[in-house]
Every structure is written in structure tokens, then in C-alpha cells.
């Protein structure tokens, strides 16, 4: 069993075929935590600098911080091994975007998928953390709907022009 520390609690990964290589499970959680936070950060920057929407910026930042706080005192970084990460050099992220809406959608989906992976793998050691990540994931679904509505109703070019008039 591997001893891990998350959010001021210590857990042991159970002895099972899936968790027999507990370090790999923790690598999965670490990689998906990074993926989810990065996706949220990109969207947060759109809300902050392009849409200039204080409320949305705060909501996105809150969810990113909630996710980070669940693992703030963890030792996940000890299990990180980017040198052996098979996905590091994939060509899955070489496309360009057609517009801002696509950047927002792809990064929100990235955050949602990262949360779902964390949710599932954390069930091996903490139903509480899994449940908290699930709540964050559903909040991200709500944020997606709101952001896409804002981007469709008020494209950023208009928002930029409108913001320029108020200076």
C-alpha cells in the first residue's frame, strides 16, 4: 500500500489489482489536476481580459481554487514523472482555433474531463474528495452554459468596442 497525503488527511491506497501500482494512480490524479486547472485558467483569462466580466471571472477562479485546495497539502508531485509520460509528445494538441468560443469550449471540456478522471480515481481512497470534485465538475458544466451564452449573445469584438467606449 502507498501512503498519500491529501488536504491534511492521510490515505492508504487499497491493495487491489487496480491500485497495486498506487504511484501510477497518483500520476493520473496529478496529470488531470494540472489539466483541469490549466483549462479553467484559460477560460478565466477570457472572462477577465476579453469579456471583462467580474462575476464570471470570480466564479471560474473560485472553482479553480476549490479544486486546488483539495490537493493543496498533497504529496502528488512526488509521483509526477513527465519524462516517462507517453502523452507528452502527442500530436493531439497541434490544431488551431477558429474563434474564441472554440478556445473556451475546448478548455472547459478539458477541465470537465480532468475533473471526471480525478473523481473516478480518487474513489480508490476517498469518497469525500471524489464527491467534492464531482460538485466542481457540475459547476463547470453550468459555467460552460453561461459562458457560451455570453459569447454567442455578445461576441468579444463587440465587448471590446463597448469596453473601449467606457474608458
Residue tagged 504529496 (cell numbers): 75
Domain boundaries along the sequence of the chain: 22-81+99-160
DSSP string for residues in the chain = --EEEETTEEEE--SSTTTTTHHHHHHHHHHHHHHHHHHHHHHHHIIIIIS--HHHHHHHHHHHHHHHHHTTT--GGGG--GGG-TTTT-STT----SSHHHHHHHHHHHHHHHHHHHHHHHTTT-HHHHHHHHHHHHHHHHHHHHHHHHHHHS-HHHHHHHHHHT-
CA–CA separation, 160 vs 165, rounded Å? 9
Domain 22-81+99-160 classification at class level: mainly alpha
The pTM (predicted TM-score) of the whole model is 0.83
First-to-last C-alpha distance (Å) of the chain: 60
Q: Give the count of beta carbons closer than 10 Å to the beta carbon of residue 20.
A: 13
Contact of 141 with 112, CB cutoff 8 Å: yes
CA–CA separation, 7 vs 3, rounded Å? 13
Tens-binned pLDDT, residue by residue, of the chain (167 aa): 455 655 556 665 544 444 446 788 889 999 999 999 999 999 999 999 999 999 999 999 999 999 999 998 888 888 888 887 777 776 666 779 999 999 999 999 999 999 999 999 999 989 999 999 999 999 999 999 999 999 998 776 555 544 444 33
CA atoms within 13 A on the CB side of 141: 9
Max CA pair span of the chain? 62
Amino acid at each position: 500500500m502507498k501512503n498519500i497525503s491529501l488536504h491534511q488527511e492521510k490515505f492508504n491506497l487499497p491493495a487491489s489489482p487496480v491500485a497495486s501500482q498506487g504511484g501510477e494512480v497518483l500520476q493520473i490524479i496529478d496529470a488531470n489536476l494540472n489539466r483541469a486547472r490549466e483549462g479553467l485558467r484559460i477560460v478565466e483569462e477570457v472572462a477577465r481580459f476579453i469579456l471583462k466580466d467580474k462575476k464570471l471571472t470570480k466564479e471560474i477562479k473560485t472553482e479553480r481554487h476549490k479544486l486546488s485546495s483539495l490537493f493543496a497539502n498533497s504529496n502528488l508531485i512526488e509521483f509526477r514523472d513527465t519524462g516517462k509520460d507517453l502523452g507528452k509528445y502527442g500530436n493531439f494538441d497541434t490544431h488551431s482555433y477558429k474563434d474564441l468560443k472554440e478556445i473556451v469550449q475546448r478548455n472547459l471540456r478539458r477541465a470537465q474531463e480532468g475533473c471526471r478522471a480525478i473523481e473516478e480515481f480518487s474513489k480508490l481512497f476517498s469518497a469525500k474528495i471524489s464527491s467534492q470534485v464531482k460538485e466542481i465538475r457540475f459547476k463547470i458544466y453550468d459555467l460552460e452554459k453561461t459562458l457560451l451564452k455570453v459569447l454567442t449573445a455578445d461576441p468579444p469584438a463587440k465587448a471590446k468596442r463597448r469596453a473601449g467606449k467606457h474608458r
